[in-house]
Amino acid sequence: AEPVCTADFAALAQRELPAEVWDFIAGGSGAELTMAANRAALDRIALVPRMPAGLAHCTTRAPLLGAPAALPLAVAPMAYQQLLHPDGESATARATTAAGVPFTLSMLSTRPVEEITALGARTWFQLYWLRDAGATEELARRAEAAGCEALVVTVDEPRIGRRLRDLRNGFALPTSVAAAHLDTAGTRRSRQRQAGVSAVAEHTAEAFAPGLSWDDLARLRESSGLPLVVKGVLDPRDVARAAEIGAQAVVVSNHGGRQLDGAAASVDLLAAASAAAPAHCQVLLDSGIRGGDDVLKALALGADGVLLGRPVLWGLAADGERGVRRVLDLLAAELRCALELAGCADPAAARALTVLGARPVDGPGTTGGAR
């Protein structure tokens, strides 16, 4: 039957994929408390529509990094998409372009950035900080040269979280899948299968620089002509700091529950993060977004937009480019419906909605242990 919500695509994807690949994309770290918290928080939050709204016209369009997008949404950077479909990131990028929203290409993509920008995709390039600093800078320049619109630096992965599913599966990349932007020798580790070990985690430990600092980011900001997006902040103080060093946006994220298990649901920090961001710095949210109603909740709590993660992979695994397209079309339809039913003429209007059930960050239950 025709999928009517993104969960339907999850079921289709799981049917297509080897169990360990499914686990790699579906799983979180540790006991998956944070992954569950992301959904629990979004489900707990409730909106108060304004009715009647007298809206002759309603649009889902919104500016992202200064340019208009069809939706207040970009596709999140997600590694190794040929694991899910032979066309890999090209399929995703084509579908994303058709949907009129930006595509974020992971540094760990299986297709090179030039191939993606050549498709005409509005591309943001995501960077992890490599131990080889020169290689990182080189990639930033390469992305700029290829025509990317922004650099998205992911700051919440000084190392990989303990993803127990991958450890149990002894997960490794198949030989057919390789990181297009890293040299083959350097990524061999990610294909070495070993019981009780995640080869992807081993590779990350080998390649990623744990000590990424604000100074590194500031330097990158100055050296590159591209706008900087800082992905993976949760604390409002880090949001403010990102803005100070000139970031054009932050992504409030816990990496979909894949890094620190026990981290707060990202949406529970959103109102505070949004309050901490000056006007020149957009606030995007990810982690747990599954449908248009979730996007509306994020907007109501102050986000300028969201990144869509796993649902995109579900579409890709289910049906390649067409699957991603259907996922994005579904999101667009859901968001339009949600805006109209909430009485919002556009995404920005959602910010005036009253929200129930948000977790107050400065109220009771928020504390540090300092004495």
Ligand X SMILES: Cc1cc2nc3c(=O)[nH]c(=O)nc-3n(C[C@H](O)[C@H](O)[C@H](O)COP(=O)(O)O)c2cc1C
Residues known to be catalytic: 255
Residue 363 φ/ψ, nearest 5 degrees? -95, -160
Interface characters, 306-345, with ligand X (x: CB under 6 A) = -x-xx-----------------------------------
**4 interacts with its own copies by CB under 8 A:** yes
Interface with its own copies (CB under 8 A), residue from 62, 75, 264, 284: 264
**205 interacts with its own copies by CB under 8 A:** no
- Owner of token pair 């320049």: 141
**Residue 56 DSSP SS3:** coil
Name which of ligand X, its own copies, none residue 68 binds, using a CB cut-off of 5 to 8 Å depending on partner kind: none
**CA-CA distance, 43 to 37, in Å (whole number)?**
10
**CA-CA distance, 111 to 316, in Å (whole number)?**
15
Residue number with CB closer to ligand X (71 or 307): 307
**CA-CA distance, 145 to 149, in Å (whole number)?**
10
Give min distance, CB of 148 to ligand X, in A. 15
By CB under 8 A, what part of segment 66-105 binds its own copies? none
Q: Which stretch binds its own copies (CB under 8 A): 69-77, 82-90, 206-214, 316-324?
A: 206-214
Interface with its own copies (CB under 8 A), residue from 27, 28, 232, 305: 232
Other CB atoms within 10 A of residue 195 CB: 8
**What b/e sequence results for 206-245 when a residue is b if at least 16 CB atoms lie within 10 Å of its CB, and e otherwise?**
ebbeeebeeebbbebbeebebbbbbbbbbebebbbbbbeb
**Residue 146 DSSP SS3:** helix
**Residues 25/147/319/296 CA torsion (nearest 10 deg):** 70
Q: Which stretch binds ligand X (CB under 6 A): 47-55, 174-182, 286-294, 339-347?
A: 286-294
Name which of ligand X, its own copies, none residue 243 binds, using a CB cut-off of 5 to 8 Å depending on partner kind: none
**11 interacts with its own copies by CB under 8 A:** no
Residue number with CB closer to its own copies (17 or 269): 269
Residue number with CB closer to ligand X (18 or 360): 18
Handedness of CA 70, 277, 286, 90 (dihedral sign): positive
By CB under 8 A, what part of segment 276-295 binds its own copies? 277, 291, 293-294
Give min distance, CB of 232 to ligand X, in A. 7
Name which of ligand X, its own copies, none residue 350 binds, using a CB cut-off of 5 to 8 Å depending on partner kind: its own copies
- Which residues contact residue 25 at a Cβ distance below 8 angstroms, ignoring those fewer than 6 apart? 17, 78, 83, 84, 310, 313, 317
Which 8-state DSSP code applies to residue 336? Answer: H
- Owner of token pair 């992965």: 157
**CA-CA distance, 359 to 256, in Å (whole number)?**
19
Interface with its own copies (CB under 8 A), residue from 25, 206, 262, 289: 262
By CB under 6 A, what part of segment 17-46 binds ligand X? 25, 38
Which residues are at the interface with ligand X (CB under 6 A)? 25, 38, 76-79, 106, 108, 126, 154, 231, 253, 255-256, 286-289, 307, 309-310
